[in-house]
Amino acid sequence: MEYTCSIHYEVDRCAGFSPEEVDMDTIKVFEDYFASKGVGVSFCNKDIDTNSFQLLRDVKFCQAVKLAREQKILLDKDSITCKGARYALGFEPGIQKELVNALKFKRGVPENIAGRLVNSIPRITNASHTHICLNSDHPDIFIFYMTPKQFMGLLKVYQRTGNRPGISLSSVTAMCGDIAAQTFVTRNICISFGCDDSREFGAVADGELIVGIPREIIEQLMGMIGSTP
């Protein structure tokens, strides 16, 4: 049986550093306000300066995000061991059948259900990036770990824009698909309760959820916080 992904997110723009400089002081104020430190994520091309980054090998994406809380991390298509993450992040398209078989044989998910799960993974298609930079000073998105109460505070401010977060919950490809890929493509705040790997290797605590926020939304919200009751 052939599997084609009919439910996905398209991105057709040049990956890499935004021409707009990020005000890292604004980001720091945001982190202090919500008492949560974020990891800046950039989807970059091969022309970037990687001298200040450590290129990792044999690592899960969620594990790399955890490490990036303390250092600058560089990933390429050969860095990430998790097939689901490589698929979601645009490094290895066309492996739906392989992912279906993994769910079928490792988790005991019926093949038809596994196919639907794989089809629903948010992913970056038509990817032009060659690297992912974590703890970047020129981020496309940020990944935060927040308690429900912290996220409630964020939501109160965000809804003043008239928008709602993107919620696409799954127990697989949580940090890589539901957060990194979906936030990057939709340019919306996204949340996830995590998956087994992200909670173990990404050190997501029992009382935390994962939040993805586009850079430009953080800058927008900081202008609204002062008027929020």
pLDDT value, residue 169:
87
Comparing CA positions, the residue from 3, 70, 54, 31 lying closest to residue 218 is: 31
Give the total number of structural domains in the chain: 1
Q: Is 4 within the bounds of a domain?
A: no
**Length of the chain, in residues:** 229
Q: Is 3 within the bounds of a domain?
A: no
Q: Is 228 within the bounds of a domain?
A: no
Query: Could you list the residue range(s) of the whole structural domain that residue 72 is in?
Result: 9-223
Q: Is 180 within the bounds of a domain?
A: yes
Spans of the chain, pLDDT less than 50:
1-19, 228
pLDDT value, residue 30:
94
Q: Is 150 within the bounds of a domain?
A: yes
**Which tokens sit at 208?**
């935390």
Determine the distance from the C-alpha atom of residue 172 to the mean position of all C-alpha atoms in its chain, rounded to a whole number. 13
Integer Cα distance of 177 and 124 in angstroms: 9
pLDDT per residue as tens digits for the range 52-110? 899 999 999 999 999 999 999 999 999 999 999 999 999 999 999 999 999 999 889 99
| pTM summary value | 0.88
pLDDT value, residue 153:
94
